[in-house]
């Protein structure tokens, strides 16, 4: 199965990608590296067979069309998170988190794609 993981360079995205790749799935990994990082472990992962990596801004329309060909499942983990960011750059947090999700849903609307969306702590307790 071909699976797209957004936020793939983050802690959860990276470990999910490793597990899915070890299970034999083909992966499309996307991250803008704003909070994730291109460390040696992530470099090793993206150089494995059946893994492709795209550094992309998911708030831009058309990104999913360029990376999502043949994808059957999406794990949408990309977000700006952390309460400090919410208080310091609230407009950017809302813009990135909402637009990246909206673009994904619009892309997936007419496709037979399963989506797992994991929200951030910013939706909890009025933050």
Q: Return mean pLDDT, the chain.
A: 89
Residue 85, pLDDT > 80, answer no
Whether 28 contacts 4, CB under 8 Å: yes
- The pLDDT score that the predictor gives to residue 113 is 95
Q: What is the percentage of the chain residues whose pLDDT exceeds 70?
A: 91
* CA 64 from centre of chain: 11
Sign of CA dihedral 53, 55, 58, 61: negative
Whether 25 contacts 71, CB under 8 Å: no
Chain position carrying tokens 């969306």: 117
pTM over 0.75: yes
Query: For residue 116, what are the β-bridge partners?
Result: 75
User: First CA to last CA across the chain, in angstroms?
Assistant: 37
Q: Which two tokens stand for residue 58?
A: 């998911």
Q: What is the percentage of the chain residues whose pLDDT exceeds 90?
A: 66
Distances (CA, A) of 26 to 23, 54, 64, 108: 9, 14, 17, 19
Query: Distance between CA 120 and CA 116 in Å, rounded?
Result: 13
pLDDT band at 48 (very low <50, low <70, confident <90, very high): very high
2-123: CATH number: 3.40.50.720
């Amino acid at each position: 199965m071909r699976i797209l993981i957004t936020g793939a360079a983050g802690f959860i995205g990276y470990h999910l990608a490793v597990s899915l790749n070890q299970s034999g799935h083909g992966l499309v990994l996307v991250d803008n590296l704003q909070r994730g990082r291109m460390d040696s472990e992530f470099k090793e992962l993206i150089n494995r067979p059946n893994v492709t990596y795209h550094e992309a801004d998911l708030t831009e329309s058309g990104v999913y069309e360029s990376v999502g060909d043949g994808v059957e499942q999406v794990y949408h983990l990309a977000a700006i998170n952390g309460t400090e960011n919410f208080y310091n750059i609230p407009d950017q947090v809302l813009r990135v988190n909402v637009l990246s999700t909206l673009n994904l849903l619009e892309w997936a609307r007419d496709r037979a794609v399963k989506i797992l969306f994991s929200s951030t702590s910013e939706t909890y307790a009025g933050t």
